[in-house]
Structure formats: structure tokens, C-alpha cells
Amino acid sequence: MTDTTATADGTTTTATTTAFTVILAVSFCHGINDIMQSLLSAIYPLLKDNYGLDFWQIGLLTFTFQVTASLLQPVVGFVTDKRPMPYSLPVGMASSLVGLIVLAYAGHYWLLLIGASLIGIGSAVFHPESSRIARLASGGRHGLAQSLFQVGGNAGQSIGPLLAAFIVVPFGQSSIAWFAIGSLIGIIVLYQVGGWYIRFRATQAARKAAPFVSPFSRNRVAWALAILTLLVLSKNAYMASISSYYTFYVIEKFGVSVQMSQVLLFAFLGASALGILLGGPFGDRFGQKAMIWFSIVGVLPFTLALPYANLEWTIVLTIIIGLILSSAFSNIVVFAQELVPGRVGMIAGVFFGFAFGMGGIAAALLGIVADVKGIDYVYRICSYLPLLGLLTIFLPNMKQASKTKA
């Protein structure tokens, strides 16, 4: 598409401008992928009634999906780092398409498990490779590229339940198959992206890029990755407390209607999407570590105040929290990729998989706490989670290391 030059991390980027067409293409397909993911959990009540399922069987569906979607991602990233597979993305989307068809027409519970696992496999293939392509197309603006890529998935997660409510519930389980049209569009788009990736690699192979050696020791890198993992844990555990239980919280504490609670949740999700979109470009400008400080520690006053606020301030605080806290993730991924050059796919797989898995585990644990102590107690204990952000002080200074190396 455009000329390329070698960068310090051993990849190549566009010499003039960011390849927005490619980034927006993978962002669009990220939305399709996450719509299919969110459809599964959104239709649980329908599946429970249709198949007479117990809650443990619903839990097994979630477990099957999360194991394939979370645990396979680092494996896929590790393999494709060593042997890139440009056309693995449409294959992954095809796996999700088949999973949707199986869910639509499953005659037995074990077929539902197969459908859930196929969607999980498709997600596991999609995230590491598409994150790598977004980085390659970034023109050096890695934070912006990751934000644009991630906001597509965030939009898909928000839209999925609405589509389930207005299409699947009125028209029945078989209407899930209608979403295969979106999957087909995704396959076509990702096939074109795969072609760009092949041309990009051909250009890259014709140039000699100096190998990049990390300025940090292996132990320092491992310590930094452990800190970043804890930051993702704190972020996703708090986000899970809002996305899973916020509607129950405002209904129980303030007596709002179910419809109003959904509107308030949508406001939080919208603010989160905006935070993701803004976080990356600010990270490019001010540095990833500075944005991690701001997004995780800076949100602490607002989380501490939330359990004691009235309805009006609860709305304001949750919007602020969603905006600030969600800006962390793209910067965490970029920071980790800079720490481990040449392992872009594996790092993306680890952090996307870990974030997704931790969100599910946190939601389950917080549900147990809510049953025992009440939903208000959940928000009081979660308000302290951002304190883990203080560990950011132990992260290395990437800008200083780059200047020293130069």
C-alpha cells in the first residue's frame, strides 16, 4: 500500500502515514468477532428455557468458550510469531461462523458445547494476528492503532446484547444463523487484509532491518510483565463489577426501572469505548507509562467515592470511571510489546486472553460475594482495586531506555 521502513523493534511500518484502511478493517472485524462472542452469553436465558438447562450447564458453556478463547490465544500468538499465517484470520472467522450455525440448529446440549468452542477458537485465532497487523499498519503510532483496533471489539460487545434482544428473542434460536451474514462479510474483509499482509512481508523481506535487543535484562522484563499482568487484573476485575452488576446495583439502591438501568449501563459502556479510543493516541504523545499512571491510579478518587454517591453523582462517577479506566489497556499492550520485541502476537494473545479470562473469573467471584454480602459491599471492596496501580512505579522507563540506546 505504501513504502515501508524498519523500526527499532524489528518490524516495519509505513514510511509516511498510518495505514488507516487496514487498521479500520481489523477494527470492523473485531466488532463482528465480539458481537458473536457476546451473543452466546446474551442468549443464555433462551437456551436455558429451550433445553431445560441447569445453571451448572450454563456455567459449562461459559467455561468451554472461555477456555478455548483465552488459553489458546497465547499459543496462537507464539506459533504465528515464528511462522506468520496471513490467511489465518479468515479461517478463524469461518470457525466462528460454523459455531453460530451449530448454535442456531443444535438439537442437543453437547452440540451447544461444540458451537461455543468453535466461537472460542475463532476468537483465539483472531486476536493475536489482528493485533499484530494493527501494529504493523500503525506507521509507528502504536497506541493509536491499538485503540482503534480495540474500540471495534468494545462496540461489538455493546451491540451484541441489543441484537439478541431485538432479533434472537422475538424470532427464536434459529435466527442466530442470520448473523452468519456478518461473518461472511468479515471473512471477505479479512481475506483482503491477509493479501495486504503478504505484500507487506514481501516488502519487509527485501529490506535489512537491524535486530533490536532489549535494553533490559530478562529478569527486569519478566518483572515488568508480571506488574502489567496485575494491572490488567485490577482493571478487568473492576470493569467486571460494573458490566455484570451495575444494573442490579442501581435497581436495588436507587429503585430505578430495568429500562433505566440498561440506559445507565450503556452510558458506562459508551464512556469506556471513548476512553479506549483516546487512550492510545495520548499514550503515543505522552508515553505509555504516563497513561498507565493516569488511567489506573487517576481513577482511584472516583471509585472510592462511588459507593457513597446519590443517583445523580453515581451516573457522573461511572461515566468518568469508564472513560479513565478503559484508556489503560491499549497502553499496557503496547508497553508489553515494546518489552518483548519480536513477540507481538504472543504478547497480544497473553494479554487479550488473560484480560478476557480474568473478567469472567472476577464476575463469577464477585457474584458469590454479592450473594453473601450484598451488591453494595461488592462496590465498596472493588473501590480499592485501582490501588494496585501504584505498582506502575516499578515499570521501566521506555523513553529513557530508548535515548540511552540511541
Residues in contact with 139: Cβ distance below 8 Å, sequence separation at least 6, in sequence order:
13, 14, 15, 16, 17, 18, 19
Q: Quick one: pLDDT at residue 213?
A: 58
Poorest-pLDDT segment among 160-164, 367-371, 374-378: 160-164
The tens digit of pLDDT for each residue in 79-134 reads 887 787 888 899 999 999 999 999 999 989 999 999 999 998 998 888 888 888 88
- pLDDT average, residue stretch 142-148: 82
Q: Quick one: pLDDT at residue 169?
A: 75
Poorest-pLDDT segment among 22-36, 167-181, 256-270, 310-324: 256-270
Confidence of residue 334 (pLDDT cuts 50, 70, 90): confident
Strand segments, DSSP code E, in 64-130 are none
Can you tell me whether residue 41 is helix, strand or coil?
helix
pTM value surpassing 0.85: no
The tens digit of pLDDT for each residue in 283-296 reads 888 888 888 888 87
Of 94, 77, 93, nearest to 85 (Cα)?
77
More confident residue, 273 or 399: 273
Q: Quick one: pLDDT at residue 367?
A: 77
Q: Are 264 and 246 in contact (CB under 8 A)?
A: yes
Strand partners, 6: 12
The tens digit of pLDDT for each residue in 11-48 reads 444 433 568 899 999 999 999 998 888 788 767 778 88
C-alpha distances out from residue 101 to 29, 161, 201, Å: 18, 18, 34
Can you tell me whether residue 6 is helix, strand or coil?
strand
pLDDT over 70, % of the chain: 85
Q: Quick one: pLDDT at residue 273?
A: 83
- pLDDT average, residue stretch 324-341: 84
Q: 191 — phi, psi (to 5°)? A: -65, -40
Highest mean pLDDT among 147-156, 188-197, 353-362: 188-197
The tens digit of pLDDT for each residue in 203-248 reads 876 665 555 556 677 888 889 888 888 888 888 788 877 877 787 7
Q: Quick one: pLDDT at residue 2?
A: 40
Angle 87-92-95 (CA atoms, 0-180°, nearest 5)?
135
- Would you say residue 263 has pLDDT above 90? no
Q: Quick one: pLDDT at residue 158?
A: 73
- Would you say residue 402 has pLDDT above 70? no
More confident residue, 189 or 392: 189
CA separation for the pair 169, 31 (Å, rounded) = 21
Question: Within a 10 A sphere around the Cβ of 140, how many other Cβ atoms?
Answer: 17
Highest mean pLDDT among 183-192, 375-384, 385-394: 183-192
Q: Quick one: pLDDT at residue 172?
A: 85
Q: Quick one: pLDDT at residue 218?
A: 81
Q: Quick one: pLDDT at residue 155?
A: 82
CA separation for the pair 349, 78 (Å, rounded) = 8
Q: Quick one: pLDDT at residue 135?
A: 83
Q: How many residues does the chain have?
A: 406
> Strands 4-6, 12-14: parallel, antiparallel or unpaired by DSSP?
antiparallel
CA separation for the pair 129, 135 (Å, rounded) = 10
CA separation for the pair 233, 354 (Å, rounded) = 8
Q: Quick one: pLDDT at residue 67?
A: 75
Q: Quick one: pLDDT at residue 356?
A: 63
Residues in contact with 99: Cβ distance below 8 Å, sequence separation at least 6, in sequence order:
36, 114, 115, 116, 117, 118, 119, 120, 121, 122
Q: Quick one: pLDDT at residue 81?
A: 77
Domains of the chain by start residue, with CATH:
13-205 (1.20.1250.20), 218-393 (1.20.1250.20)
Q: What is the mean pLDDT of the chain?
A: 81
| Residue located via cell numbers 463469577 | 364
- pLDDT average, residue stretch 361-390: 84
